[in-house]
Each structure stands twice: as structure tokens, then as C-alpha cells.
Amino acid sequence: MIEYLVSTNIDDRILARSARLLAAGGLLGLPSDTSWTAACSLASREGIKKLRKLSGERDERHFTLLCSDISQFSEFCSMNNSRFRLIKRLSPGPYVFILKTLLGTEKALNLRRGEIGVRIPDHPVPVELIKTLGSPLYSVTAKRSMLEHSGGAIPEPGGEDGGLLPIAGEELFDGGWELEAIEGLDLILDTGDERPRIFSTILDLTGDEIVSLRLGAGPWPA
């Protein structure tokens, strides 16, 4: 099912229905400032379970917490002043920041790593949805492999240097209508605009040095 909306004047009723669906464990497809995203509520264990099954990804660095503002990061992750300034300078935008998690976050998500990726997308649909829901979204890039392997996609191998390989352009979607073929998505929010086939830049901020795990739409060094 698709709900069409206007990004500059989003219908509050659509946001409210979408938030209720997420709170009940549903999965949504929605646009971002990069490509299309599949997401659930961070507060829904059932939603997280279904999203991981749909994705098939085993490397937790493929999953991202989408937040509406930087203040939400501190509820789930730890960062020092220099990291805060970097994130503030690059957000909102096509950057994922890998940060060390707080103990409660690690337990809630049953993470094998004590770290998680966070970002603030530069797109009104996910940002306004997060505000309505009152919780970050747990998300993964929507890929065509989900069409063939719903619940069992083959995860991408990591690079030899420990980084993440770029996502091939042909794996990404243009229009929201294409996501209707993904079994498991309960709703697609679509502004009617095609999204670019680009992915985010992933920066690991957990160590003393900033490490680029994957170069994407966001330039680095920036």
C-alpha cells in the first residue's frame, strides 16, 4: 500500500497512521536524502526482528538509527565534544556516524557490537515521522535483493580493510512504487519524486581517529 504525500506540506493524518503502524511492529518504506529506506520503530522489538529478517544483513553496520535531531543521539550513544561538533557540522545530510552505544541500547537491540550507526536525514518525511512517533527509526537501505530473498537476502561481504563495500546502483530503487513488490513492507510513503541511486558515507567515530568505512554521497574529508 502506498500513501502519497507532499513533502513541503505533509498530512498530519498520514503521519499519525504511519506512527501507529510502526508502534504496532510494522515496516515502512520511505524516502530519504539518499535512496529509499526500509524502517521500523526503534521501540518495537517485533519491528526490529522483522526488519532484520527482511534485510538478511548480518553486519550490524548496515543498520542505522534515523533521528530527527542530534539531541536524540545522546539517549542511545556516547560522544565527546569533538565528535559532537563534527556531527553537528555534517548533519543533516548523507552521513552515518558509527558511535559507541550506551548499555541500554546494546541490550535493547541485542547488538553483538557495542556500537551503532546514527544519522539525521536531510528529508522532511523521515524527520517528521520520527517527531510524530516520538522515537528514532531503525533502518536499512531498501535493495532489490529484498525482492528475491525476503527474509533471506545474502549479505554483502565486507572489504578487506574492514570497511563496507559500496552498494551497486542497480541494487537501489528509483520510485516508491517499486517497493510495493517487497513482501513485508506494510506501507510506503511516497512523495511521487524519484530518489537518486546514491548511498550515505559511513564514518567510524569509535576510535581516536576517524575511519571512513564507506564513501558515498557525503564527501570525506569534508
pLDDT confidence of residue 162: 56
CA distance 107 to 197: 34
Confidence bin at 155 (pLDDT 50/70/90): very low
Helix, strand, coil: what percent of the chain each, to 5?
Answer: 35, 20, 45
CA distance 32 to 134: 18
CATH number of the domain bearing residue 86: 3.90.870.10
pLDDT confidence of residue 74: 85
In a domain, 220, yes or no: no
How many distinct structural domains can be found in the chain? 1
pLDDT digits (tens, 9 = 90+) for 108-152: 777 777 888 999 999 999 999 999 999 999 999 999 888 865 444
In a domain, 163, yes or no: yes
**Domain range holding 10?**
2-214
- The CA-based angle 191-92-132, given to 5 degrees, is 55
Query: Of residues 19 and 195, which shows the higher confidence score?
Result: 19
End-to-end CA distance of the chain: 39
In a domain, 116, yes or no: yes
- The CA-based angle 74-76-81, given to 5 degrees, is 30
Element at 116 (helix H, strand E):
strand 115-119
